[in-house]
A and B are shown apart, each in its own frame.
Chain A
Amino acid sequence: MPTNTYTPLATITLTGTDSEVVFASIPSGYRDLIFSISILGTSNDQSCVMQLNADGGANYSNVRMAGWGASYGSNTTGTSYIFVSGYNYGLATSGAYTIAQGSIMDYSATDKHKTTLIRSRSSRDNGDTDTTAGAGRWANTNAVNQIKFYLTAGSFAAGSTFSLFGVAA
C-alpha cells in the first residue's frame, strides 16, 4: 500500500541576520531528511556548511566536484563539517541567492554512518558562480536529531530560507 511521503517539517525565513540556523528535536519517524536552502550572507564569498547533533569535532568527510566557467575540479577538504555550498566561489550579499538541496540518508539508523548527497549553485556579488555536487559523511552511528547550518565567516542575511522535509520510511 503506497504511503504518502515527503512531509514538510519546518520552514524558516530569516527576518534579520543570524549566525546559524538550527533544526532541533528532529523526529525519528522518517527514512531520509531533505533540506533546501536559499541564502545570502553578510560577508561575500563564504561557504555554507552544516554540523549534525552539535558535533564540532573532526568527524566529517567530504568529497566534491564542481565547475565554474571553463574550469572544474574535485577535492576532499573539510573535516569538522559537511560542505553545503561554495566550492570555488561563495555566496553573495545581495541579488543572486546561493541555493542548495541535499539528502541526509537513513538519518535515524543506528547501524551506519550518516551520508549526505548535496547539489548547490553558489553566486558571488560580482556574478561569478559555481555548481557543485558533493557527498558527505558524519562518522557516527547516532540518529540525527539536530542540524546546524552556518557560514565559514559572517552571518546569513535577512531573506535567507531553510526548509526541512521528511521522506517516509
Chain B
Amino acid sequence: MSDLVQGTLDLLILKILALQPMHGWGISERMRQLSAEVFQLNPGSLYPALQRLKRKGWVRSHWAVTENNRRARYYELSPAGRRQLAEEADRWERVSAAVNRIVRTAH
C-alpha cells in the first residue's frame, strides 16, 4: 500500500464511491476485489485519506444503518468530488499511458 502515491489513492477511493456510497470497511473490501487482491487497503491509510477527501469537500459522510442493523458511517461523492474524479481519471490516463510507452519500449 505504501507504493501508492497519495493522489492515486484518492483517485481509487473516489472511483469506488462513484459506483455507490459505502462505509470504510466496504471501500477496503471493494478495493481488494476490484484490484484482484493487489491493493490491500489498511485502515491506517484509508481513514486518513477519507478525512482528507472530506476536508477538501470532495466526499461527504452520513451515518446510516447497515443490513445487519449496525450503525456505520457511509461516504458518498459530492458534486465537486465527481468533477475531481473525472479530472483525476483523465490525468491518470495520460500519465499511465506515457509511463507504459516508455517502459514497454524494447531495448
A in complex with B: no
Residues of A within 8 A of B (CB): none
Q: Which residues in B have some Cβ–Cβ distance to A below 8 Å?
A: none
